[in-house]
Chain A
Amino acid sequence: MADLSIDFAGIKSPNPFWLASAPPANTGEQVMRAFDAGWGGAVWKTLGDPIVNVSSRFGSVDYDGRKMMGLNNIELITDRPLEVNLAEIRLVKKRYPKHVIIASLMTETKEDWRVLIQKCEDAGVDGLELNFGCPHGMCERGMGSSVGQEPKLLEEITRWTKEFAKTPVLVKLTPNTGDILEPGLAGVAGGADGLSLINTIKSIVGVDLDRLVPVPRVGSGSSNGGYCGPAVKPIALHMVAALARDAGVRIPISGIGGISNWRDAAEFIALGSTSVQVCTAVMHYGYRIVEDMIEGLSNYLDEQGMKSVNELRGRAVPGYREWGDLDLNYKLLAKIDPDKCIGCQLCMTACHDGAHQCIFPGSDAERARPPHAHAHGNAVRPKTYLAGKLAGDRVPWIDEPECVGCNLCQLVCPVPDCIEMVEVPHTGKEETWNDRVAQGRTKQPGGIHD
Chain B
Amino acid sequence: MTSLLKKDRLETALPDKKPLYSSAEARAEAERCLYCVDAPCIKACPTEIDIPTFIKKIATGNTRGAASTIFDQNLLGYSCARVCPVEVLCVGDCVYNGWGRDPINIGRLQRFATETAVDHPAKNAAPLRTPKPKIGKKVACIGAGPASLAFAGYLALEGFDADVFEKRSVAGGLNTTGIAPYKLQAEDALHEVAWVESFGVQVKTGIEIGKDIKAEDLVRDYEAVFLGVGLGEDTKLGIPGEDGPSLTRDDAKSLGRVLVIGGGNTAIDVARECAGLGAADVAMVYRRSQKEMSGYAHELEGARLEGVRFVENAVPHSFVRDAGGKLVALRVSKAEGGKPIAGTEHDIPCDLVTLAIGQSKLRSLATQFAGVELDAKGCVKADRETGKTGNPKVYAGGDCINGGKEVVNAVADGRNAARDVLAKLSKGS
Task: List chain A positions with a Cβ less than 8 A from chain B.
Answer: 64-65, 342-346, 348-349, 361, 390-391, 394, 414-415
CB of B51, distance to nearest CB on chain A (Å): 13
Q: Nearest Cβ in chain A — how far from B61, in angstroms?
A: 10
B64 nearest CB across to chain A (Å): 15
Contacts of B28 in A (CB 8 A): 65
**Cα-based distance from A149 to B24 in the complex (angstroms):** 42
Q: A348: which B residues are within 8 A, CB to CB?
A: 37
CB proximity to A under 8 Å, residues B18-44: 27-28, 31-32, 34-40
Identify the closest chain B residue to A353 (Cβ). Answer: B37
By beta carbon, the residue of chain A nearest B36 is: A344
Contact B34 A394 (CB under 8 A): no
Query: Is there a chain A Cβ closer than 8 Å to B98's Cβ?
Result: yes
Q: Lowest 4 A-B CB distances belong to which pairs?
A: A390-B98, A65-B31, A345-B37, A344-B36
Q: Mark B79-99 against chain A: 1 for CB-CB distance below 8 A, else 0.
A: 000000000000000011011
Contacts of B96 in A (CB 8 A): 342
A-B contacts, 19 listed (Cβ < 8 Å): A64-B31, A64-B59, A65-B31, A342-B95, A343-B40, A344-B34, A344-B36, A344-B37, A345-B36, A346-B34, A346-B35, A348-B37, A349-B37, A361-B38, A390-B98, A390-B99, A391-B95, A391-B98, A394-B40
Is the beta-carbon distance between B36 and A346 smaller than 8 angstroms?
yes
Q: Distance in Å from the Cβ of A351 to the closest Cβ of chain B?
A: 11
Could you say which residues of chain A place their CB within 8 Å of the CB of B40?
343, 394
**Bound CA span A342–B96, Å:** 7
List A contacts of B37 (CB < 8 A). 344-346, 348-349
CB distance from B63 to the nearest CB of A (A): 15
Min CB distance, B120 to chain A, in Å?
16
A415 and B34 alpha carbons, distance in the complex (Å): 11
Most chain-B CB neighbours within 10 Å: which of A64, A344, A346, A349?
A: A344
Partner of A345, one of B27, B32, B38, B59: B38
Instruction: Tell whether A344 pairs with B95 under 8 Å between CB atoms, given A361-B38, A394-B40.
Output: yes
Provide the residues of chain A in CB contact with B39, threshold 8 Å.
344
Q: Which residues of A contact B36 (CB under 8 A)?
A: 343-346
Q: Give Cα distance in the complex from A175 to B178, angstroms.
A: 66
Question: Known: A349-B37, A361-B38. Is A342-B98 also a contact (CB below 8 A)?
Answer: yes
Point out the residues of chain A lying under 8 angstroms from B95, CB to CB: 342-344, 391
What is the CA–CA distance of A82 and B153 in the complex, to the nearest angstrom?
A: 73
B residues less than 8 Å from A343 (CB atoms): 36, 40, 95, 98
The complex places the Cα of A391 from the Cα of B39 at a distance, in Å, of 12
Question: Once bound together, how far apart are the Cα atoms of A426 and B34, in whole Å?
Answer: 36
> In the complex, A235→B98 CA distance in Å?
38
Smallest CB–CB gap between B101 and chain A, Å? 9
In the complex, A349→B38 CA distance in Å?
10
Q: Which residues of B, 105-155, contact A by the 8 Å Cβ criterion? A: none
With A390-B99, A391-B98 in contact, is A65–B38 under 8 Å at CB? no
**Which residues does chain A contribute within 8 Å of B98, judged by CB atoms?**
342-343, 390-391
Identify the closest chain A residue to B30 (Cβ). A65
CB distance from A98 to the nearest CB of B (A): 44
- A414 contacts which chain B residues (CB < 8 A)? 34
A345 to chain B: closest residue by CB? B37
Query: Chain A residues with Cβ under 8 A from B99's Cβ?
Result: 342, 390, 415
User: 7 extra interchain contacts, Cβ-Cβ under 8 A, other than A65-B31, A349-B37?
Assistant: A65-B27, A343-B36, A344-B39, A345-B38, A346-B37, A348-B37, A361-B38
Chain B contacts of A394 at CB under 8 A? Answer: 40
Complex contacts, B34 vs chain A, CB 8 Å: 344, 346, 414
CB contacts (< 8 Å) of A65 on chain B: these are 27-28, 31-32
Q: CA–CA, A361 to B43, complex, Å?
A: 15
Query: Complex: how many Å from CA A347 to CA B131?
Result: 40
Determine the distance from Cα of A345 to Cα of B98 in the docked complex, in whole angstroms. Answer: 14
A396 closest partner in B (C-beta)? B37
Provide the bound-state CA to CA distance between A200 and B7, in Å: 63
| Shortest Cβ gap from B31 to chain A (Å) | 4
Name B96's closest neighbour in chain A (CB-CB): A342
Q: Which residue of A lies closest to B31 (CB)?
A: A65
- Report A-chain residues with C-beta under 8 Å of the C-beta of B31: 64-65
Name the residue on B nearest A64 (C-beta): B31
A34 to B40, CA, bound (A): 50
B20 to chain A, nearest CB (A): 20
In whole angstroms, how far apart are the Cα atoms of A410 and B317 in the complex?
A: 64
Q: What distance in Å separates the Cβ of A228 from its nearest Cβ neighbour in chain B? A: 23
Q: How far is the CA of A58 from the CA of B36 in the complex (A)?
A: 35
The answer for the CA separation of A344 and B27 in the assembled complex, in Å, is 21
Task: Give the nearest-CB partner of B101 in chain A.
Answer: A342
Name the CB-closest residue of B to A63.
B31
Minimal beta-carbon separation of B213 from chain A (angstroms) = 50
A344 to B33, CA, bound (A): 10
Interface centre among B34, B39, B40, B98 (most CB of A within 10 A): B98
Question: What are the interface flags for B45-80 relative to A under an 8 Å C-beta threshold, 1 for contact and 0 otherwise?
Answer: 000000000000001000000000000000000000
Q: How far is the CB of A43 from chain B (nearest CB, A)?
A: 35
Whole-angstrom distance from the CB of B330 to the nearest CB of chain A? 46
| Interfacial chain A residues near B27, Cβ < 8 Å | 65
Q: Which residues of A contact B32 (CB under 8 A)?
A: 65
Q: How far is the CB of B308 from chain A (nearest CB, A)?
A: 33
Shortest C-beta distance, A220 to chain B (Å), equals: 21
Task: Please measure, in the bound complex, the distance between the C-alpha atom of A394 and the C-alpha atom of B27, giving whole angstroms.
Answer: 28
**In chain B, residues 133-183, which have Cβ atoms closer than 8 Å to a Cβ of chain A?**
none
Write the chain A residue with the least CB distance to B38.
A345
Report how far A65 CA is from B27 CA in the complex, Å: 8
CB distance from A179 to the nearest CB of B (A): 37
How far does the Cβ of A411 sit from chain B's closest Cβ, in whole Å? 14
Contact residues in B for A391 (Cβ distance below 8 Å):
95, 98
Bound together, the chains give a CA A391 to CA B36 distance in angstroms of 13
Alpha-carbon distance between A444 and B295 when the two chains are bound, in angstroms:
67
